[in-house]
């Protein structure tokens, strides 16, 4: 399958180009950048045969069957809608759109057109999170009482552009990081938060957008979820905890793009390390996407997953702005 990259982005260059090329029979034919010069340089650097500043050049190319959209967040909706309309399969970066209504429109359009549409939520692809989910599902933790997510990191300088100063491009830690936590919590608990409360603020990097947020989510089952996200915490490290009536899982360094981390389970028999696969998260996502295109299985995170993670993140932002509990609006999906 030939791919077109929509967006000459960092995430494509650091992870997704290699992940696409790792799949048998998959290659990247063209990259679109809003700047013809940057597109040419990006294509040359990554050995991509063609570049263009016109999305239509990719969408009109009958040899290209799939596109990967990794532009800034406000562009995902129009670009994905155009790609779907052209009959391309779409792997879209998170957050899918700037509003839940737009994200729902994307999912419905892809369904109607019969193309595969997926959201690039990498964390549920990690061996660490797959192992945590298996522990929850096995019943070893008993009835789940609470989840705590520690995702306060330091945004690397090369990513400190639109994320910290451009609300129109979808900047802020909530659309960047909370959206991933939302997907990860849903992946583990198989349920969607009903309402959230939150406080957000700036702590050194954000200019016109929040760079830190703490939120608490109410799950239909009564499980309590606590989430801490930030761009400004240099030494905090990341983690994910699940606490049940029979056991607790404590995972550290697992809210990351790398296949790393440590997991321990504590129960009445003591404290035990949990072993997990160290496969590449993005390769796993591409395996599932290509499988879905070939008619086998589903993408790791599909469009509905992307709508729901966005809905939760936007509810967190709204709750922080209003200073009150906000019900999550999933847009009827
Ligand atoms: P970048 O800032 O690297 O790229 C976004 C856009 O910015 C590009 O499409 C490009 O526009 C423009 N751009 C890139 N470099 C330059 C430059 N040197 N000068 C001027 N403009 C430039 O963003 P990221 O790769 O960090 O993020 C892109 C998307 O991917 C976002 O939606 C983000 O949320 C998501 N993401 C997802 C991750 C995941 O693990 N799922 C991880 C990181 C990001 P153009 O294409 O027009 O040249």
pLDDT digits 0-9 by tens, 99-146: 999 999 999 999 999 999 999 999 999 999 999 999 999 999 999 999
Q: Distance between alpha carbon 296 and the CA centroid of its chain, in Å?
A: 22
Ligand 1 near 70 CB (within 6 A): yes
The residues spanned by each domain of the chain are: 2-122+283-298, 123-280+310-327
- Residue 73 CA: nearest ligand 1 atom is 32
Ligand 1 near 11 CB (within 6 A): yes
H or E element in which residue 109 lies: helix 100-113
Q: Which residue is listed with tokens 């990554």?
A: 46
pLDDT digits (tens, 9 = 90+) for 214-251: 999 999 999 999 999 999 999 999 999 999 999 999 99
pLDDT digits (tens, 9 = 90+) for 190-207: 999 999 999 999 999 999
Q: Distance between alpha carbon 79 and the CA centroid of its chain, in Å?
A: 18
Is 2-122+283-298's fold the same as 123-280+310-327's? no
pLDDT digits (tens, 9 = 90+) for 251-305: 999 999 999 999 999 999 999 999 999 999 999 999 999 999 999 999 999 999 9
Extended beta strands in 98-238, E state: 117-119, 144-152, 195-201, 212-218, 224-230
**In CATH, what number does 2-122+283-298 get?**
3.40.50.720
pLDDT digits (tens, 9 = 90+) for 303-331: 999 999 999 999 999 999 999 999 999 99
d(CA 92, CA 77): 9
Please tell me the class of the 123-280+310-327 domain. Answer: alpha beta
Mean pLDDT calculated for residue range 54-77: 98
pTM for the model stands at 0.97
- Residue 162 CA: nearest ligand 1 atom is 2
Average pLDDT over the chain reads: 98
CA of 327 to the centre of ligand 1 (A): 31
pLDDT digits (tens, 9 = 90+) for 145-178: 999 999 999 999 999 999 999 999 999 999 999 9
CB 278 within 8 A of CB 258: no
């Amino acid at each position: 399958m030939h791919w077109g990259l929509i967006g000459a982005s960092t995430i494509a260059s650091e992870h997704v180009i290699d992940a696409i090329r790792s799949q048998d029979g998959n290659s990247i034919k063209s990259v679109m950048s809003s700047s013809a010069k940057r597109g040419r340089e990006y294509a040359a650097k990554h050995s991509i045969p063609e570049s263009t500043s016109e999305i239509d050049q990719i969408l009109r190319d009958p040899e290209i069957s799939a596109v990967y959209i990794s532009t800034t967040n406000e562009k995902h909706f129009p670009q994905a809608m155009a790609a779907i309309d052209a009959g391309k399969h779409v792997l879209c970066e998170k957050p899918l759109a700037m509003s839940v209504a737009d994200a729902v429109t994307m999912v419905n359009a892809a369904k109607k057109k019969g193309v595969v549409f997926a959201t690039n939520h990498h964390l549920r692809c990690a061996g660490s999170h797959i192992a945590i989910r298996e522990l929850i599902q096995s019943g070893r933790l008993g009835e789940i009482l609470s989840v705590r997510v520690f995702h306060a990191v330091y945004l690397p300088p090369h990513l400190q552009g639109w994320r910290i100063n451009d609300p129109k491009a979808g900047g802020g830690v909530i659309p960047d990081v909370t959206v991933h936590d939302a997907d990860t919590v849903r992946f583990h608990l198989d349920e969607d938060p009903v309402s959230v409360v939150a406080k957000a603020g700036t702590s050194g990097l954000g200019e016109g957008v929040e760079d830190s947020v703490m939120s608490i989510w109410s799950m239909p089952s009564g499980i309590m979820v606590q989430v801490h996200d930030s761009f400004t915490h240099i030494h905090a490290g990341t983690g994910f905890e699940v606490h049940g009536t029979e056991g607790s899982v404590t995972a550290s360094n697992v809210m990351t793009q790398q296949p790393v981390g440590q997991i321990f389970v504590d129960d009445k028999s003591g404290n035990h390390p949990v072993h997990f696969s160290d496969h590449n998260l993005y390769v796993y996502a591409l395996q599932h996407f290509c499988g879905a295109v070939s008619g086998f299985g589903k993408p790791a995170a599909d469009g509905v997953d992307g709508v729901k993670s966005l809905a939760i993140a936007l509810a967190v932002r709204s709750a922080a702005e209003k200073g009150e509990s906000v019900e999550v609006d999933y847009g009827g999906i």
